[in-house]
Amino acid sequence: MNYGRILFYAWLLLISLTLVSVLIAETKNFTDVSAAIVCFVIAIKGHVVVDTLMGLKHAHASIRKVMLSYMYIIPGLILFGIAFPEVVKDLTTLG
């Protein structure tokens, strides 16, 4: 498969996942489960961006691991903040 076709399918996947995220996030009953689904979609999109658009699929393992870990840690922190807002408030308040 040529690189142009791979980029096209990656773009199509990213657009589709974005639309799914928007449909889930813009519902009236946004719950912690909805947030978890949206964060999971964010992580998948980050993985596609790192491997396909940034071209790190065959890069040195440490560089790729750092970028992929960022794409999984940030959505995890967002989900933690949504699920446990009081804990985040206590951790970030000075007194």
pLDDT computed for residue 78 by the predictor: 93
pLDDT, tens digit, for every residue of 18-75?
Answer: 999 999 988 888 888 999 999 999 999 999 999 999 999 999 999 999 999 999 999 9
12 C-beta neighbours (distance < 10 Å), count: 10
Q: How far is CA 15 from CA 12, 19, 83, in A?
A: 5, 6, 27
pLDDT computed for residue 29 by the predictor: 87
pLDDT, tens digit, for every residue of 22-33?
Answer: 999 888 888 889
pTM listed for this prediction: 0.83
Residue holding tokens 């992929």? 68
